[in-house]
Amino acid sequence: MNKKFVERIAAELGEIGKAGLMKTERIITSAQGAEIEVMIPDPGNGSGSGMAGKGHKKVLNFCANNYLGLSSHPAVIEAAHKAIETHGYGMSSVRFICGTQDIHKELEQKLASFLGTEDTILYAAAFDANGGVFEPLFNEQDAIISDALNHASIIDGVRLCKAQRLRYEHNNMADLEVKLKESQSLRNRIIVTDGSFSMDGTIAQLDKICDLADRYDAIVLSDECHSSGFLGKTGRGTHEYRGVMGRIDLITGTLGKALGGASGGFTSGRKEIIEMLRQRSRPYLFSNTLAPSIAGASIVVLDMLSETTTLRDKLEANTKYFRRKMGEAGFDIKAVDHPIVPIMLYDAVIAQQFAAALLEEGVYVIGFFYPVVAKGLARIRVQLSAAHEEHHLDKAIAAFTKVGRKLNVIK
């Protein structure tokens, strides 16, 4: 045991704590859903990260990525059970040794037809999909042109690749065009963007991005983690929402948000590209197969979403209702359309007090402030779900209004 090393880490943790940047985790004692049970930390119990608590509290959950309410949906749970019975608990292997089952191939095909692509490759997580998509496809002769606010997993994936790197200002098409011109002499250029940006609920302008890609002969990748399953008329994602299905070269996404919420990720696109990833993508080659229960349940999720748009329609109605009522109450709300609803408070201290007061009222939301968002842009992020009923939304709106008045955020 190296004492000096542990002491250095402890000191660095101390600095994180002093800067007020220590992340704590709230412990949920129920299944994920619109109503959850959380542990109330015992104030006498230090960090609050231990198991001892002074009791449980039922709260309304407005901070999960459970957009369609599938995390604990009876049909999804049943499908997972069934897959365990027919295909076992785990594969104890990577895909190319002895880890590919019929349900993995079926899920890949179902994802491809859901997204409007030719083929799909599964990963343990979308973090791995983004980590393993660039290095096999691009090198020094190419350039990756990335939105400045892209997800950490994209940034890490780009780091692992030898391609030249350019960054365009967030959601700024004029700056993207500048970067496309700058890199015109290179072999291939790929424009990379989150389909929806999780802090602001901004939806990427994929239509304009595709037009620029056509003009400058570039490739387009959209990360659909906060979009797949609900954006667009039939829930296919940002490309459907922006009317560019069939024009996106590469789609990465997660099974860990709207599409069931367990875990798992994927990359989808033309079959030649997906085949190259199967040959060369390191997180695919050297990491274990997606659990059969997740593969089996995800197939049922895609069947459900292909049969009916009921869930994404309900999410859309909930989003419209909540955004309208909160606007009427006087709150300053960012973006449009997306079930990520940032309630702007600007002040970091107010954001923390606001979230704490809401929890007292039985509404669980998270305050975000620097460095997660820019200085002076602190906010509470509300995430809506098809699992929310109107009475849940009304309770949240009433709690927001009460706390907002108390903290002088609204009149």
Ligand X SMILES: *Cc1c(COP(=O)(O)O)cnc(C)c1O
Catalytic residue among 198, 268, 287, 385: 198
Min separation Cβ 131 and ligand X, Å:
9
Of these residues, 87, 226, 314, 388, which one is catalytic? 226
- Regarding 194 and contact with ligand X (CB under 6 A), the answer is yes
With CB under 6 A as the contact rule, the residue among 256, 283, 339, 404 that binds ligand X is: 256
- Report the nearest approach of ligand X to the CB of residue 194 (Å): 5
- Report which residue type is found at 246: G
What whole-number distance in Å separates Cα of residue 147 and Cα of residue 175?
10
Q: What is the DSSP letter of 167?
A: E
Is 411 among the catalytic positions? no
Please state the closest distance from residue 206 (CB atom) to ligand X, in A.
14
Q: Does 223 bind ligand X (CB under 6 A)?
A: yes
By CB under 6 A, name the one of 62, 127, 241, 368 that touches ligand X: 127
Q: Which is nearer to ligand X, 196 or 352 (CB)?
A: 196
User: What's the angle, vertex CA 374, arms to CA 376 and CA 200, rounded to 5?
Assistant: 105
Task: Kindly state whether residue 226 participates in binding ligand X, applying the rule CB under 6 A.
Answer: yes
The CB density around residue 48, as the number of other CB atoms within 10 Å, is: 16
By beta-carbon proximity to ligand X, the closer residue of 69 and 201 is: 201
Nearest approach in angstroms of CB 53 to ligand X is: 27
Q: Are 297 and 264 in contact (CB under 8 A)?
A: no
By CB under 6 A, tell whether 254 contacts ligand X: yes
Stretch that binds ligand X, among 15-23, 112-120, 125-133, 339-347 (CB under 6 A): 125-133
CA dist., res. 225 & res. 153, Å (int): 11
Q: Give the C-alpha separation, 347 to 326, whole Å.
A: 19
Cβ distance to ligand X smaller for residue 130 or 383:
130
- Cβ atoms 101, 84 nearer than 8 A: no
Size of the site for ligand X (CB under 6 A): 14
Pick from 225, 299, 343, 387 the residue near ligand X by CB under 6 A.
225
Min CB(227)–ligand X separation in Å? 9
Q: Judged by CB under 6 A, which stretch of 2-10, 134-142, 218-226, 344-352 contacts ligand X?
A: 218-226
Q: Is 378 helix (H, G, I), strand (E, B) or coil?
A: strand
Least distance (Å) between residue 80 CB and ligand X = 17
Nearer to ligand X (CB atom), residue 329 or residue 372: 372
**For residue 236, which of 260, 259, 261 has the smallest C-alpha distance?**
259
Please say if 228 is a catalytic residue. Answer: no
Q: Does 239 bind ligand X (CB under 6 A)?
A: no
Catalytic residue among 73, 151, 179, 257: 257
Pairing relationship of beta strands 340-346 and 378-383 according to DSSP bridges:
antiparallel
Q: Considering only CA atoms, which of 230, 238, 242, 288 is closest in space to residue 263? A: 288
Residue 265 engages ligand X in binding (rule: CB under 6 A)? yes
Question: Binding string to ligand X for residues 131 to 160, with x set by CB under 6 A, is what?
Answer: --------------------x-x-------
| Inter-helix orientation angle 292-307/310-328, to 10° | 80
What is d(CA 368, CA 380) in angstroms, rounded to the nearest whole number? 6
Using CB under 6 A as the binding rule, whether residue 198 contacts ligand X is answered as: yes
Cis amide linkage into residue 371, ω under 30° from 0: yes
Q: Is 230 in the site for ligand X (CB under 6 A)?
A: no
The two three-digit tokens of residue 204, written as one number: 């990427």
Cβ neighbors of 361 (< 8 A, separation 6 or more) are 399, 402, 403
DSSP-assigned letter for residue 98: I
- Tell me if 126 contacts ligand X by CB under 6 A: yes
Q: How far is the CB of 44 from ligand X (least distance, A)?
A: 34
Is 162 a catalytic site residue? no
HSE toward the beta carbon, residue 80, CA cutoff 13 A: 19
Residues with Cβ within 8 Å of 273's Cβ and at least 6 positions away in sequence, in order, are 137, 249, 250
Task: Quickly list DSSP for 28-81.
Answer: B-S-SSSEEEEEEEPTTSTTS-SS-EEEEEEEEE-SSS-TTS-TT-HHHHHHHH
Stretch that binds ligand X, among 159-167, 221-229, 337-345, 364-372 (CB under 6 A): 221-229
Pick the piece of the chain touching ligand X (CB under 6 A) from 100-108, 124-132, 272-280, 389-397.
Answer: 124-132
Kindly state the smallest distance separating residue 254's Cβ from ligand X, in Å.
3
**Residues annotated as part of the active site:** 198, 226, 257
Residues near ligand X (CB under 6 A): 125-127, 130, 151, 153, 194, 198, 223, 225-226, 254, 256, 265
